């Protein structure tokens, strides 16, 4: 496979290291800081981020913060006062309302001066502090430099502008403009997705890469694969390639874990290798397909692929892929292989019910609420 001269990049092997580099980058910012988070919690490290953001705003750096109305709902109304008083701007995406609560901004990124970008699965919350083995949730991220940061900034600007998620009469036309603006910037490797944007571009690009893949490694916190993805993974093995999945042995959302395990039998019989990470909650979202790396906020489930606003970065880089595989090899030292086993009736019923809720009911409710808005 050809080598792509993509953006300069380095792995962030856990959230604690990522937070250190993010805080240093904010402190060094000279023009702008843009932070987008699904979950932002008070305490450590959230309060430290708030202080550094306020300091940046006070030295006249343009500071823009976007947090999700559901994921960050525990924050008090005056939590962001120091940032706002220093000149920064903080907005809440889709403030909670019963007629639109399903649709969320699940994206996670930090952009510095439109030159440096941090992407991954980590939110800013206490549970992420640690190495992912002895303490703290297990997660990955990337620090990127180059044009990809500006492309991510353009994507950020769209949701920041339309954060209220309120559509006036004839709002369909406004929503169409949002759709156009959020569509992927494929030449910069940014795959921005969301409800009502048509076929999910991250899913489409992943399937395209899998069609010619020889070596596939996927890490997914919430893995409830659709038929297309299951077929693609089985095809890789059938054509002589290898597929390894690293999934959550400990999950913060047991319902998703139960639904995902309903698909294990068919994948195992096809030759897919599945390991479950044991020491801590696994929260990473990563795929390495030969020399292509996908990193960002999207899980491989119906919510990420059809309901949430998400952003993934796709980079074709042999060095980066090799380094990512080394990180995964180290992580598997803390995982146990999944073996096919007989399921009792009660467990099969639980798996079927969980799968129905997540793959049928949740997307139906999101489509219903989205229609009311447009």
The CA–CA distances, whole Å, from 198 to 172, 176, 313 equal 14, 11, 19
Evaluate whether 290 touches 210 at the Cβ level (below 8 Å). no
Look up the pTM and report it: 0.90
CA distance 219 to 246: 5
Q: Is 283 a catalytic residue?
A: yes
Q: Is 203 a catalytic residue?
A: no
Q: Is 4 a catalytic residue?
A: no
CA distance 168 to 310: 24
Q: Which residue among the candidates 68, 105, 113, 301 is catalytic per the annotation?
A: 113
Q: Which residue among the candidates 106, 163, 175, 203 is catalytic per the annotation?
A: 106
- Whether cis (ω within 30° of 0) applies to the bond prior to 275 is no
Q: Is 108 a catalytic residue?
A: yes
Per-residue pLDDT of the chain (374 residues; tens, 9 = 90+): 333 445 678 999 999 999 999 999 999 999 999 999 999 999 999 999 999 999 999 999 999 999 999 999 999 989 999 999 999 999 999 887 766 778 899 999 999 999 999 999 999 999 999 999 999 999 999 999 988 999 999 999 989 998 887 644 434 445 555 655 665 454 558 999 887 656 789 999 999 999 999 999 999 999 999 999 999 999 999 999 999 999 999 999 989 999 999 899 999 999 999 999 999 999 999 999 999 999 999 999 988 998 899 999 999 999 999 999 999 999 999 999 999 766 677 777 877 887 888 888 777 777 776 666 55
Q: Is 339 a catalytic residue?
A: no
Q: Is 113 a catalytic residue?
A: yes
Domains for the chain: give ranges and CATH numbers.
8-184 (3.30.870.10), 201-356 (3.30.870.10)
């Amino acid at each position: 496979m050809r080598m792509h001269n993509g953006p300069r990049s380095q792995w962030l092997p856990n959230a604690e290291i990522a937070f250190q580099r993010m805080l240093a980058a904010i402190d060094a910012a000279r023009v702008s800081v843009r932070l987008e988070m699904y979950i932002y919690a008070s305490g450590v490290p959230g309060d430290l981020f708030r202080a550094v953001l306020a300091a940046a705003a006070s030295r006249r750096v343009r500071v823009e913060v976007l947090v999700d109305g559901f994921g960050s709902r525990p924050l008090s109304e005056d939590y962001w006062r120091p940032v706002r008083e220093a000149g920064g701007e903080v907005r809440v995406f889709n403030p909670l309302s019963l007629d639109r609560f399903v649709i969320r901004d699940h994206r996670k990124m930090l952009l510095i001066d439109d030159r440096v970008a941090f992407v991954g699965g980590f939110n800013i919350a206490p549970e992420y502090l640690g190495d992912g083995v002895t303490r703290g949730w297990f997660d990955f991220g990337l620090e990127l430099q180059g044009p990809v940061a500006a492309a991510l900034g353009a994507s950020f600007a769209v949701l920041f502008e339309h954060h209220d998620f309120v559509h006036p009469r004839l709002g369909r036309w406004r929503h169409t403009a949002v759709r156009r603006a959020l569509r992927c910037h494929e030449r910069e490797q940014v795959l921005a997705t969301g409800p009502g944007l048509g076929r999910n571009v991250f899913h489409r690009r992943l399937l395209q890469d899998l069609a010619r893949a020889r070596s596939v490694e996927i890490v997914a916190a919430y893995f409830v694969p659709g038929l297309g993805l299951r077929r693609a993974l089985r095809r890789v093995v059938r054509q002589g390639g290898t597929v390894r999945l690293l999934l959550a042995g400990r999950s913060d959302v047991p319902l998703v874990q139960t639904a995902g395990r309903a698909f294990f039998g068919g994948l195992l019989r096809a030759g897919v290798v599945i390991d479950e990470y044991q020491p801590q909650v696994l929260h990473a979202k990563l795929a390495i397909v030969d020399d292509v790396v996908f990193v960002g906020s999207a899980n491989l489930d119906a919510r990420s692929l059809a309901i949430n606003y998400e952003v993934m970065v796709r980079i074709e880089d042999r060095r980066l892929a090799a380094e990512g595989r080394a990180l995964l090899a180290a992580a598997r030292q803390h995982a146990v292989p999944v073996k096919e086993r007989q399921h009792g009736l009660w467990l099969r019923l639980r798996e079927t019910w969980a799968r129905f809720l997540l793959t049928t009911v949740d997307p139906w409710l999101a489509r219903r609420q989205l229609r009311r808005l447009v």
